[in-house]
């Protein structure tokens, strides 16, 4: 049995018997005015963060969500879309698709604006999406892609890139880990399916996205998620796992490489009223400007009168690019 088969079995179990502790978002479940999220959806929230942000869902976008869970984020996306088939949910587990359908009936009872027809549930595989090329504005997945081994991860990301329209965005939440893991951990199929032993370093995760062609990467959140302790897992030391929220935008790749925003800020403190690097970046006197890592490095080299902050790993737009 492959690790993907183990994943199928685990989430079949989680669909039939909700497992509250399987995954756990480390930030609050966003409640919007007029939106009631059924308790069963919250219990089946098998994610490690959130992929729903109002800044991504404007102008009636077509939304794709891969790995439906109990349907909570599909409901949240529908809150902004509110059109027949505006949100497509893809999952390879029949039982999870059926659970979501049932949960949407409960959501209809609790939300007078919601109709199940807003969501189109489709049987499919993240590695071979049943979706047309360049037909999606916003694609999302939560705590799924970290399960994949590296070649499958590359395939899943390339599939998301394929279905997105130009300037569309892939919004994700996944566990990451900066510490090395033993082969015993890496090859434990159940721990991988539980979104633990498949976690990779952030730089490797970002490289998969930029190698697929995404020209802009935004790190929107980074939080503690789990620890693997030697008294509970086959680990030689305490291993800290974090969760990230990240957006990859299908922008053209710049000649000098992708723009990766990790929450750095540049502040000019010289004697002039502003600093212009001649490359489209103008810093007003003592006014912070969010900058990508590439621009941060260039500005630091251009002047010793510019303060560059450390990465906060929290970025919400308004930056240099």
- Same-domain pairing of 73 and 107: yes
How confident is the model over 221-225, as a mean pLDDT?
94
- Same-domain pairing of 40 and 85: yes
Task: Name the domain count of the chain.
Answer: 2
Note the pLDDT tens digit of each residue in 146-183. 999 999 999 999 999 999 999 999 999 999 999 999 99
Domain assignment present for residue 21? The answer is yes
Domain assignment present for residue 182? The answer is yes
Domain assignment present for residue 313? The answer is no
- Per the CB < 8 A criterion, the answer to whether 47 and 25 are in contact is yes
CA 215-217-221 angle, 5° bins: 175
What is the domain-level CATH number for residue 182? 3.40.50.150
Strands 306-308 and 274-276: what pairing? unpaired
Domain assignment present for residue 162? The answer is yes
Q: CA-CA distance, 16 to 63, in Å (whole number)?
A: 26
pLDDT, position 267: 97
Q: What percent of the chain is helix, strand and coil (3-state, nearest 5)?
A: 30, 25, 45
Note the pLDDT tens digit of each residue in 242-295. 999 999 999 999 898 999 999 999 999 999 999 999 988 999 999 999 999 999
Which residues lie across from 66 on neighbouring strands? 90, 141
pLDDT, position 19: 53
- Same-domain pairing of 35 and 172: yes
- Same-domain pairing of 119 and 240: yes
Report the range out of 50-59, 101-110, 183-192 with the highest average pLDDT.
Answer: 101-110
Q: CA-CA distance, 125 to 56, in Å (whole number)?
A: 24
- Same-domain pairing of 131 and 187: yes
How many CB atoms within 10 Å of residue 273? 9
Domain assignment present for residue 258? The answer is no
List alpha helices for 66-93, DSSP H: 72-81
Q: CA-CA distance, 156 to 216, in Å (whole number)?
A: 18
- Same-domain pairing of 236 and 279: no
Q: CA-CA distance, 288 to 280, in Å (whole number)?
A: 16
Task: Report the percentage of the chain scoring pLDDT > 70.
Answer: 91
Coil, strand or helix: which one is 138?
strand
- pLDDT higher than 80, residue 9: no
Least confident range from 7-16, 22-31, 73-82, 106-115: namely 22-31
Domain assignment present for residue 161? The answer is yes
- Same-domain pairing of 204 and 282: no
- Same-domain pairing of 44 and 171: yes
| Mean pLDDT score of the chain | 91
Domain assignment present for residue 319? The answer is no
Domain assignment present for residue 318? The answer is no
- Same-domain pairing of 168 and 273: no
Range of the domain at 302: 264-308
Least confident range from 17-26, 78-87, 211-220, 237-246: namely 17-26
Extract the tokens encoding 49.
Answer: 């963060």
If pLDDT is split at 50, 70 and 90, which confidence band does 318 have?
confident
- Same-domain pairing of 195 and 288: no
């Amino acid at each position: 049995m492959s690790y993907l088969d183990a994943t199928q079995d685990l989430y079949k179990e989680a669909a039939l018997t909700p497992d509250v502790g399987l995954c756990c978002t480390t930030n609050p479940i966003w409640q919007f005015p007029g939106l009631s999220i059924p308790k069963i959806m919250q219990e089946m929230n098998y994610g490690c963060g959130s992929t729903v942000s109002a800044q991504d869902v404007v102008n009636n976008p077509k939304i794709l969500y891969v790995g439906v869970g109990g349907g909570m984020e599909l409901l949240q996306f529908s809150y902004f879309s509110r059109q027949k088939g505006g949100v497509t949910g893809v999952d390879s587990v029949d039982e999870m698709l059926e659970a979501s359908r049932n949960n949407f009936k409960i959501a209809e009872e609790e939300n007078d604006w919601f109709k199940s027809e807003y969501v189109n549930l489709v049987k499919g595989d993240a590695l071979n999406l049943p979706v047309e090329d360049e037909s999606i504005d916003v694609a999302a997945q939560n705590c799924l892609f970290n399960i994949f081994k590296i070649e499958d991860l590359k395939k899943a990301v390339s599939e998301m890139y394929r279905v997105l329209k130009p300037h569309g965005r892939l919004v994700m939440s996944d566990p990451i880990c900066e510490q090395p893991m033993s082969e015993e951990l890496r090859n434990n199929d159940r721990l991988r399916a539980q979104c633990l032993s498949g976690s990779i370093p952030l730089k490797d995760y970002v490289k998969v996205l930029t190698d697929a062609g995404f020209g802009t990467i935004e790190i929107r959140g980074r939080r503690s998620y789990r620890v693997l302790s030697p008294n509970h897992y086959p680990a030689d030391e305490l291993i800290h796992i974090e969760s990230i929220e990240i957006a990859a935008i299908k922008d053209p790749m710049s000649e000098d490489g992708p723009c990766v925003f990790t929450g750095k800020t540049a502040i000019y403190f010289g004697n002039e009223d502003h600093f212009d690097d001649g490359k489209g970046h103008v810093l007003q006197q003592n006014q912070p400007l969010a900058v990508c890592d590439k621009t941060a490095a260039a500005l630091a080299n251009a002047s010793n009168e510019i303060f560059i902050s450390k990465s906060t790993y929290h970025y919400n737009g308004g930056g240099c690019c």
